[in-house]
Amino acid sequence: MQKIFAILAVLLLAGCSTTENTHTDSQCIGQMTTEEAYGHLNPERFTIQVLALTEERQADVRNYINHIQGQQPIWVNWKKSQSGRWYAVIYGDFETKEEAKSVIDRLPEAVRQQGPFIRSFAEVQNDKQTDVFRLR
């Protein structure tokens, strides 16, 4: 039951609708598995993990997402680990590490202060124990 409330909280905090089937690029695309979210992406490409928060700080997710401009996709991964429940926000689909690094350099200071780092989609695809929400 807590998981359901946590999922709904993330969707609501991100401004997503859980009832609409159609969407624009700025609306929630919805819940999916790791395979559904990332399986079609080239594992040699890169993304940026901009934030990782414990469940207790889930309200901060919306704040950080609102700071990130542009049309690149944003995903929120929810997972349970030995230390509790976590939300990891990843951003973008970049061809090279250099491209991702230049995007990090242009992120707002509030986002850069959280220590964003580059991950390959191969790494993201290997993390099978997550529920994923694509927000745009």
3-state SS, one letter per residue, for 2-17:
HHHHHHHHHHHHCCCC
Would residue 46 count as lying in a domain?
A: yes
Number of domains in the chain: 1
Would residue 57 count as lying in a domain?
A: yes
Cβ neighbours for 125, distance < 8 A, ≥ 6 positions apart: 34, 35, 38, 39, 41, 43
pTM for this entry: 0.73
Would residue 9 count as lying in a domain?
A: no
User: Which position has the higher pLDDT, 104 or 9?
Assistant: 104
Strands 117-120 and 130-134: unpaired
Q: pLDDT tens-digit profile of 57-102? A: 666 677 677 878 888 988 888 887 777 778 889 999 999 999 999 9
- 69: CATH: 3.30.70.1070
Would residue 18 count as lying in a domain?
A: no
- What range defines the domain where residue 107 resides? 42-134
Would residue 35 count as lying in a domain?
A: no
Would residue 1 count as lying in a domain?
A: no
Would residue 58 count as lying in a domain?
A: yes
Would residue 127 count as lying in a domain?
A: yes
Average pLDDT for residues 5-14, to the nearest whole number? 45
